[in-house]
Amino acid sequence: MNHDPPFAASPLNPAAAAQPTRFESAASPTPSGEAGATAAGAAADSGPVPSPETAPAHLDLPPIQPNLSFQTRCRDLIAAGQEAFAQTGSWVVFYRELLGHEGRMRKLFRDTDELHRFEETPEFADLLEMAAALRSQDMDKVDAFEPQKMITVRLPKSQHETLKQEAQEHGTSINKLCISKLLLPIAGRFVPLERGKVRGRKPGPQGKRNERMGR
């Protein structure tokens, strides 16, 4: 089951890339749909988004109630997203508190099937658009709230050239384009099966050298 995002522009929608997201300005067009109208109204009422320099490192959000119906939890998460959007100008803080591995989304949807179901909803699309709007305003190269990590990805030259072209079409860098793609969920059928030993570095410390460096 697929849901088309109820907003005019998304991080990976070339046709709408030049249009302002409705979370950038209260004057932006409001899409149809209950979730879209609710999110747009909250963003308009929240006033200017704090700058990354003055944004709090942690957000003041309502307590989590995981034993609610699926739809109620969806509404809870989008409401928390609206509050978070009004409190912080840092997309890293927004992502960590709501969508990260210890964020509100995974605490509300602990079951994998329910999590994937939520990722197909308009509410999840709204959260991604809020994150994209904050990323557009957050110009810091190094985030003040969380250390940055680096990964090395091996890919064919043709795929690299495609990423370069796609980034140019969106008017952004390859790094920002890749982050936008990584924020999107992926169905298991699109992930290739591993044959034999997994290549590359495993998550976590990589040995004594990295332990000495504090990684």
Residue 174 lies in a domain: no
86, 49 Cβ separation under 8 angstroms: yes
The H-assigned helical ranges of the chain are 34-45, 70-87, 91-98, 104-108, 112-118, 122-137, 157-170, 174-182, 208-212
Q: Is residue 130 part of a domain?
A: yes
Residue 193 is given by DSSP the state P
Q: Tens digits of per-residue pLDDT, 173-209?
A: 999 999 999 999 988 888 888 887 776 666 666 555 5
Eight-class DSSP state of 111: S
Rounded to two decimals, the pTM is 0.68
- Report whether 163 contacts 174 (CB < 8 A): yes
* Average pLDDT rounded to a whole number, residues 109-133: 95
Whether 34 maps to a domain, the answer reads yes
Query: Is the residue at 143 inside a domain?
Result: yes
Q: What is the pLDDT of residue 13?
A: 36
Domain that holds residue 129: 14-148
Residue 137 — pLDDT band, cuts 50, 70, 90?
A: confident
Of the given ranges (16-20, 99-103, 205-209, 211-215), which has the lowest mean pLDDT? 16-20
Whether residue 93 is contained in a domain is answered as yes
Is 187 contained in some domain? no
If one counts the domains in the chain, the total is 1
Report the C-alpha gap between 138 and 10 in whole angstroms.
17
In a domain, 171, yes or no: no
Across the chain, mean pLDDT equals: 75
In a domain, 207, yes or no: no
Instruction: For the beta carbon of residue 74, count every other beta carbon within 10 angstroms.
Output: 20
Tell whether the model's pLDDT for residue 92 goes beyond 50: yes
- d(Cα 38, Cα 79) in Å, to the nearest integer? 9
Taking Cα atoms as reference points, which of 57, 58, 38, 54 lies closest to residue 46?
38
